Each structure stands twice: as structure tokens, then as C-alpha cells.
Amino acid sequence: MTAHWQEQVSLKPYNTFGIDVKARYFAQVQSDDEVREALAQARQRGLAVMVIGGGSNLLLTRDVDALVLHMASRGRHVLGDDAGRVVVEAEAGEPWHPFVQWSLQQGFCGLENLSLIPGTVGAAPMQNVGAYGVEIKDVFAGLTALDRHTGELRDFGLEECAFGYRDSLFKRNPGRWLILRVRFALSHRLQAHLDYGPVRQRLAEQGVQAPTAQAISDAICSIRREKLPDPAELGNAGSFFKNPVVAVEQLARIRAEFPGVVAYPQADGQVKLAAGWLIEQAGWKGYRDGDAGVHRLQSLVLVNYGQASGAQLHGLAQRIQADILARFGVALEMEPNLY
């Protein structure tokens, strides 16, 4: 076996669903050189490679017959600070939320609405992580990725990443790009985004009249802690389904039968339906089958009460998808990456 590679490693500590499957080989990588070396050796041995960060957007349904590369590179620094605009760069293995907190402590604004999202910096562009009205595309300055087909390094600008709603070029080409570091354009001046969900109300309850970026972050953390299960206590991968974006005509058909349907207009003229509302209406909220279930407070979140397998959770997800399609004519798409 290659130096630093471990064999038959349980991935339970490395995925937030807490699914106990094994990786045939497992290696932690902390630098570009270690990444290149591991990829070269895997290629020589004809092994597939699976990259993981925090494992918070994964559903593992079987043992992984591959080398699992765990991104553990660290480092964050300011690349430029000019006329109120600050560009910071962070290595892929940096845990996301501590990075957000570090940026706020430096007095940099822009990432506050993306507080308390689990996972790593390197995975954040994969699905253009978003919360409370902000997506990383809004503060994105660039990234450096390794082309796993050619071994070449490439810098990507905003347009090239083709970010969409929980989507990107990288998500659409699984296995091609390994993201090594990401750059963000932040600001010394706060542009507050408070009009999403209960953010403004929470700040008012906390007596905050002129919110700072840190106050917004704190308010969002407090809302999230109340509503979302902590993976350290209850296995989950956050929202299990994307909110479906449909034509207004389809919304009209649904609204005729279900007047309370929750929908948000999109810039392109379509509407985004709240998948959580559809699932709750269909009676799945709090549902439990063995150790696989739907969270009792947030029906968009599937949970592992302990010993659920990835296949059981996937089976539950498929039953929900079939039910929502039959009731509302809406196809729900899974958000986590399935293996």
C-alpha cells in the first residue's frame, strides 16, 4: 500500500449523515503536491478517486471502491485590499464556518448570510452554496482547480463557473475538477441582506437597530440553531431536495387545488416552490421508518436516527419524490451527491 494511504476505512466520521460504509483506500491531503501525488498513484493503480471535504452534502449508499481523498489543506489570507474592496483566498480544506467568522473578525463584509453552513471552502462552489438570499456567486472572485483529466492547474472566473441555483460547472462535471483554493471579493462596507425569512425580525427581537455584519451572522446562527438539526447530534445533510423552479402556469394549476402553496418569483419569470411546504402538505413531516426519517421541524431535511443505511435513506427519498409527483405534478431533485 502507498505511504499515508489507509485501507478499509470507515467513512462514518467523514459524512454528516453518519453512514457507516468503508473506503477501500483513504488518504488525507494537505497540499497541492500531496493531491498530485495521490492522483498519480491512483491512476497508476487503476483506482477511481472520490474527493470529500466535510461530507455534509453526501449520501453514501455503498462501500466506496476507490481512493477517498480527504481535503485537509489549510490557509487563508488577504490578497488585496483597495478602495474598500478586499480579496481573500482560502485553501479548499478550510472549514467553511470558521472561515466566515475569521472574515468577519477582520472587518470584511459579504459572507455573513452564509454563516453556519457546514463543510469546506473547496466544496462551496460545487453547488454555489446559498442561504438567506446570498449565494457564493455574489461574493466570488475566482478559484484554482486541478484538471483531473490533464493534471493542469486552471483559474476560473465568475462566468466560467456557470453558477446556477445550487448548481455549477463543477457539479455538472463530477470527477473532472478538484478545487484547490477559492477567492472571495469582500468589502469594508456592509450591504445588508435582511429581507429573507425571519432575519430582520430576529434582529429586531435582539434589539439590534443598526446591524453590523457580525450581528447579522449571529442572528442567522441563532435562527439556524433553532430550526436545523446539528449533524453532531442527528445525522443529516441539510436540505435533501432542491426547491423546484417551475413555470407560472404550473403554479396556477397547483394553486387552484392548493391555495396556500408557497412560491417565490424568479428573475427569469419562473417561480420557485418551497419543496419543504410540498413535503409537509403531503404529510411527511416527522415521518420515521426505522432509523430513516423526515425531520420534525424542517421537512426538507432527511435524518438518520442512528443506524439507517444510505440505501434506506435513498429509498425514503424516492418514496417522497414519487408522492410529490403524484400529488402536485412536481419532480423533486435530490440535492446531496449520491454515491
Q: Which residues are catalytic?
A: 166, 239, 335
State the Cα–Cα distance between residues 295 and 279, nearest whole angstrom. 11
Q: Which of 7, 205, 225, 264 binds ligand NAP (CB under 6 A)?
A: 264
Q: Which is nearer to ligand NAP, 72 or 334 (CB)?
A: 334
In degrees, rounded to 5, the angle at the alpha carbon of residue 91 between the alpha carbons of residues 216 and 30 is: 135
Q: In a 10 Å sphere around its CB, with 0-12 CB exposed, 13-18 middle and 19+ buried, how is residue 256 labelled?
A: exposed
Interacting residue with ligand FAD among 215, 228, 251, 300 (CB under 6 A): 228
Residues numbered 241-260 forming contacts with ligand NAP, rule: CB under 6 A: 243
Number of residues that bind ligand FAD (CB under 6 A): 32
Spatial distance between the Cα atoms of 178 and 169, rounded to a whole number of angstroms? 12
Map the footprint of ligand NAP across residues 285-304, applying CB under 6 A. 298, 300
71 binds ligand FAD, rule: CB under 6 A: yes
| Residue 47 or 131 having the CB closest to ligand NAP | 131
* Binds ligand NAP by CB under 6 A, chosen from 276, 284, 294, 302: 276
Q: Judged by CB under 6 A, does residue 303 bind ligand FAD? A: no
Query: In the structure grid, which three cell numbers stand for residue 126, read together?
Result: 460545487
Contact 122, 179 (CB under 8 A): yes
Task: Please report whether residue 317 would count as binding ligand FAD according to CB under 6 A.
Answer: no
Strands 301-304 and 292-294: antiparallel
- 122 is a site residue for ligand FAD (CB under 6 A): yes
Q: Which is nearer to ligand FAD, 298 or 309 (CB)?
A: 298
Query: Given candidates 114, 123, 228, 316, which one binds ligand NAP under the rule CB under 6 A?
Result: 228
Least distance (Å) between residue 105 CB and ligand FAD: 21
Nearest by Cα to 242 from 274, 269, 277, 215: 274
Return the sign of the alpha-carbon dihedral for residues 26, 292, 173, 157.
negative
CB 98 → ligand NAP: shortest distance, Å? 18
Interaction of residue 194 with ligand NAP, rule CB under 6 A: no
Q: Are 53 and 117 in contact (CB under 8 A)?
A: no
Interacting partner of 298 out of ligand FAD, ligand NAP, none (Cβ under 5 to 8 A depending on kind): ligand NAP
CA distances from 331 to 108, 281, 304, 312 (A): 40, 15, 23, 20
Indicate whether 274 belongs to the interface with ligand NAP (CB under 6 A). yes
Q: Which H or E element spans position 273?
A: strand 271-273
**Rounded distance, CA 120 to CA 247, Å?**
34
Question: What are the residues binding ligand NAP (CB under 6 A)?
Answer: 130-132, 195-197, 227-228, 238-239, 243, 264, 274, 276, 298, 300, 335
